[in-house]
Amino acid sequence: MSTSSTLERESGNGTTHKDTKNEQAELERLLNREATAFNRELEVDRILKAFKLNPYEILDVDVTITPDGVKKRYKQLSLFIHPDKTSHPSAPIAFDLLKKAKLSNSSSREELDATLVSARQQLLKSLSLPTSIVDSDHRLTGLKPPFKEQLRDAQKKMLIDEEVRRRKAVKLNHANEGYEARKKEDEVNEKKRKAEADKDWEANREVRVGSWRDFAGSKKKKAKTKSNILG
């Protein structure tokens, strides 16, 4: 009997070996889909818990990653957690956070890197360690709490301070813009008021002239009457 015939041979319950194999393959595909869906939800949760002001943390990459590496990582994550591919209720929020962490602006990334480096240097100085020390140095690996944990907290604090300063500057700028806008509006209103006053003055000119003529005529008439009485 051929191998093919053997695989097609029915078992005691009427199911062929080929049917059993197909069922196992389908079960495997189902389990893989479930695992993928579960992993998508885990990734959404990870992004939501990541520190929002640190794109590296949202992307889950090292600060040394290249621009091309950032693009590749962003593409992978954006496809993996896209709201159309996961039923997680907060997927749209995570997707928006991911879009803001693209690091596509080189100047913004340079500013971010400078802040992270500054935080590291300040932390090392506070630990009385040289700023040129590498993370693998035994003076860092034996720290409690771990150096990476301390560094993350230091960087988080500095990023928050930077964000607070940025927001204050924006608020002040808006206030100044509002003041300038109000000042300009007041100037425009003053010009309108003056124009209306000039218009009213001109419109009432004839009335004023008539009144003056009446007054002058009345004065002359009184003077003439007085002269006649005296004469």
Cβ–Cβ under 8 Å, residues 56 and 102: no
Single-letter amino acid, residue 162: E
Which 8-state DSSP code applies to residue 103? -
Q: Tell me if 97 is assigned to some domain.
A: yes
Print burial letters for 123-133: b (CB count within 10 Å at least 16), e (below 16). Answer: bbeeeeeeeee
Tell me whether the omega of the peptide bond preceding residue 145 falls within 30 degrees of 0, making it cis. Answer: yes
Q: Which two tokens stand for residue 22?
A: 């197909």
Q: Residue count of the chain, please give it.
A: 231
Given a cut of 70, is residue 113 above it in pLDDT? yes
CATH number at 61 reads: 1.10.287.110
- The percentage of the chain sitting over the pLDDT mark of 70, rounded to a whole number, equals 77
- Mean pLDDT, all residues of the chain: 83
Distance CA 152, CA 119 (A): 9
- Does any domain span residue 22? yes
Q: What is the C-alpha to C-alpha distance for residues 16 and 22, in angstroms, rounded to an integer?
A: 10
Q: How do the residues of the chain divide into helix, strand and coil, expressed in percent and rounded to 5?
A: 75, 0, 25
- The 10s digit of each residue's pLDDT in 173-226 is 888 877 777 777 787 787 778 777 777 766 776 665 666 666 666 655 555 555
- Cα 86 to Cα 14, 44, 89, 114, 177: the distances in Å are 39, 9, 8, 36, 44
Q: Is residue 155 part of a domain?
A: no
Look at residue 44 and tell me if it is in a domain: yes
- Predicted confidence at residue 6, as pLDDT, reads 46
For residues 11 and 56, the answer to whether their CB atoms sit within 8 Å is no
Evaluate whether residue 40 is within a structural domain: yes
Tell me the pLDDT tens digit for each residue of 15-26.
566 667 777 777
Whether 70 is in a domain gets the answer: yes
Q: Output the pLDDT for position 205.
A: 64
- pTM for this one? 0.64
* Nearest-10 crossing angle of helices 67-80, 91-100: 170
The verdict on residue 56 lying in a domain is: yes
The pLDDT, as a whole number, for residue 223 is: 56
Distance of CA 23 to the CA centre of its chain: 49
Better pLDDT: 125 or 33:
125
pLDDT digits 0-9 by tens, 27-53: 677 777 788 899 999 999 999 999 999
Please state, in angstroms and as integers, the Cα–Cα distance from residue 47 to each residue in 43, 57, 71, 89, 103, following that order.
Answer: 6, 8, 17, 13, 16
Number of domains within the chain: 1
Residue 65 has pLDDT above 80, yes or no: yes
> What is the extent of the structural domain holding 38?
17-103
Task: Flag the least confident range among 133-142, 146-155, 205-214.
Answer: 205-214
Whether 141 is covered by a domain: the verdict is no
Whole-number CA gyration radius for the chain: 41
Query: Which one is predicted more confidently, 119 or 5?
Result: 119
Q: What is the DSSP string of 17-86?
A: HHHHHHHHHHHHHHHHHHHHHHHHHHHHHHHHHS-TT-HHHHHT--TT--HHHHHHHHHHHHHHS-TTT-
